[in-house]
Amino acid sequence: METLVLIAVIILAIAIGMRWIHLLNAQHDARITAYRFSEPLPRPPGMPDDTGRRGHHTDAER
């Protein structure tokens, strides 16, 4: 009887550990999703606006 109780306690501990790890992974994934990796850094004051239009002319614009 003691062996069955021990096996049940071990299985319960494994199940609780698996659930805890799953919740921690979900929390970590939510943090990664919320963080914007591609957000550009703010431009320092006084710097000219770089829109990428310089030097890019088509034949119709010339």
Contacts of 54 (CB under 8 A, 6+ apart): none
Q: Would you put residue 41 in left (φ > 0), alpha (ψ -120 to 50) or beta?
A: beta
The model's pTM is 0.52
**pLDDT at residue 57, rounded to an integer:** 55
Given a cut of 60, whether residue 62 has pLDDT beyond it is no
**pLDDT at residue 51, rounded to an integer:** 60
Q: In whole angstroms, how far apart are CA 31 and each of 20, 35, 41, 47?
A: 17, 6, 20, 33
Task: In whole angstroms, give the CA distance from residue 27 to residue 33.
Answer: 10
Read off the pLDDT of residues 9-45 as tens digits, 9 standing for 90 and up: 999 999 999 999 999 999 999 888 887 766 677 777 8
